[in-house]
């Protein structure tokens, strides 16, 4: 299955002993080719949970109100985060006494910011649903900015790639590249690579060493990125590389080996993409972690004859994004016979879980021991290799090809 909407959480945990999975596997479920799994069709998330500004909006006016509401039932939780210059800030607000509305304490949106809204609500029938939306606010026409990941002061996995996504096409890529400096302690060679005119990524030749301190300096202010369009940012931020965890999904064997710092922690039964909806091969990096999310096939092209999603599951637990196109590794409670035996998903990697998400299930165990920046590598799938610009897929590009993507000679 490939993605849609949810409630976000970043996770990390200390090293755990190798687990015996027999006790964890009883009584849960997994991903089927009919991903509704007998749950029936749910109302579309935008019908259950209404968010303004609309999902994916760009250039939103700071005067536009930020609102969350439900027509019936009640809001269970609302989390809004503002991101500027790789710094995340929670947006305070309150749910109304009747549970139908949420509004921020500060009615003014910030300029040149990205907002993320995560909502969980109960509809009028008591059914839980989740929605995850994002929008960006107005940047003055003569200015450009880069939205940066990872976040300032974060701790990430060794596969993290520094990525800048610009709000406007960059014509003078060499000038912009020269104004971005990525350094590490201990020192390692770090090189840039452009994907088109709107994205600039940085990485070393091999995964970062655990404990590395990485500093990113954006000296973009007044740099002309395109005719008459100048940079706005002059900012330095840093992040720390945590322990080294790489998980290998063998689509043919229906297993995932989880290794940390070279030690095998566990071999977990999985289900991957079905023969007609296979999972990409290659190295993928966790870029987002959602405790619960909604997944609707219509958002990624899986529709029936009526144009409705082939699946629509409102409460997929323990979901970790691997690609921009919608590949996730997630908990699955609706197909109990697939794990370790068959590949039946729409392209995602499924781990056994329970509805609502269990901490003592394989999916919960893995989620609690994962970081943004961890690597998940899929092998032996009957699909192509994931594209280097689909998520943080740059590790699938050899070093010479990566270096050739610089605009500076």
List active site positions.
330, 348
CA distance 40 to 122: 17
| Token pair listed for 157 | 């996995």
Those residues whose C-beta lies under 8 Å from the C-beta of residue 234, and which sit 6 or more positions away, are 218, 219, 220, 221
Q: Which H or E run includes 94?
A: strand 93-95
| Tokens read off for 127 | 């059914």
**Cα separation of 353 and 18, whole Å?**
19
CA distance 8 to 322: 14
- Assess whether the previous peptide bond of 281 is cis (omega < 30° from 0): no
- Give dist(CA 218, CA 164) in Å, integer: 10
Cα(163)–Cα(146) distance, rounded to whole angstroms?
9
Whether omega before 150 lies within 30 degrees of 0, making that bond cis, reads yes
In order, the DSSP letters of 143-212 are: EE-EEEES-TT-EE-TT--EEEEESS--S-HHHHHHTEEEEEES---EEEEEETTTEEEEEESSPPPTT-
Q: What angle do CA 249, 252, 253 make, to 5 degrees?
A: 70
Strands 128-136 and 146-149, by their bridges, are: unpaired
Give the dihedral of Cα atoms 95, 100, 104, 108; nearest 10 deg: -170
Best CA proximity match to 242, nearest among 202, 286, 201? 286
Cβ atoms 319, 22 nearer than 8 A: no
Q: How many C-beta neighbours within 10 Å does residue 196 have?
A: 11
Report the alpha-carbon distance of residue 342 to residue 270 in Å, rounded.
8
In the block, tokens 């005119």 appear at 197
């Amino acid at each position: 299955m490939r993605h849609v909407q949810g409630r976000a959480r970043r996770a990390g945990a200390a090293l755990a002993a190798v687990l015996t999975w027999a006790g964890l596997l009883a009584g849960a479920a997994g991903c089927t080719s009919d991903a509704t799994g007998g749950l029936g069709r749910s109302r579309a998330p935008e019908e259950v949970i209404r968010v303004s500004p609309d999902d994916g909006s760009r250039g939103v006016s700071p005067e536009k109100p930020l609102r969350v509401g439900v027509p019936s039932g009640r809001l269970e939780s609302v989390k809004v985060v503002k991101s500027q210059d790789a710094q995340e800030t929670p947006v305070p607000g309150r749910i109304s006494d009747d549970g139908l509305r949420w509004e921020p304490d500060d009615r003014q949106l910030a300029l040149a910011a990205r907002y993320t809204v995560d909502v969980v609500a109960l509809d009028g029938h008591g059914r839980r649903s989740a929605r995850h939306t994002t929008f960006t606010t107005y940047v003055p026409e003569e200015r450009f900015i880069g939205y940066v990941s990872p976040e300032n002061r974060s701790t990430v996995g060794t596969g993290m790639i520094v990525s800048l996504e610009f709000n406007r096409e960059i014509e003078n890529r060499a000038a912009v590249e020269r104004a971005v400096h990525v350094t590490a302690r201990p020192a390692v060679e770090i090189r840039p690579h452009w994907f088109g005119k709107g994205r600039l990524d940085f990485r070393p030749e091999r995964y970062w060493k655990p404990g590395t301190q990485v500093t990113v300096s954006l000296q973009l202010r007044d740099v002309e990125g395109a005719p008459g369009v100048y940079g706005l940012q002059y900012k330095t931020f840093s992040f720390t590389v945590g322990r080294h965890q790489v998980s290998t999904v063998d689509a043919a064997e229906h297993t995932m080996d989880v290794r940390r710092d070279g030690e095998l922690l566990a071999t977990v039964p999985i289900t991957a993409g079905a023969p007609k909806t296979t999972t990409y091969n290659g190295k993928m990096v966790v870029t987002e972690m959602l405790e619960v999310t909604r997944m609707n096939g219509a958002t990624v092209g899986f529709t029936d004859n009526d144009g409705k999603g082939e699946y629509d599951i409102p409460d997929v637990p323990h979901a970790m994004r691997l690609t921009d196109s919608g590949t996730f590794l997630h908990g699955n409670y609706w197909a109990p016979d697939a794990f370790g035996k068959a590949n039946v998903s729409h392209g995602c990697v499924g781990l056994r879980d329970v509805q609502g998400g269990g901490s003592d299930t394989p999916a919960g165990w893995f989620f609690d021991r994962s970081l943004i920046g961890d690597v998940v590598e899929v092998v032996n799938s009957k699909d192509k290799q994931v594209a280097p610009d689909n998520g943080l897929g740059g590790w699938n590009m050899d070093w010479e090809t990566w270096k050739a993507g610089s605009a500076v000679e």
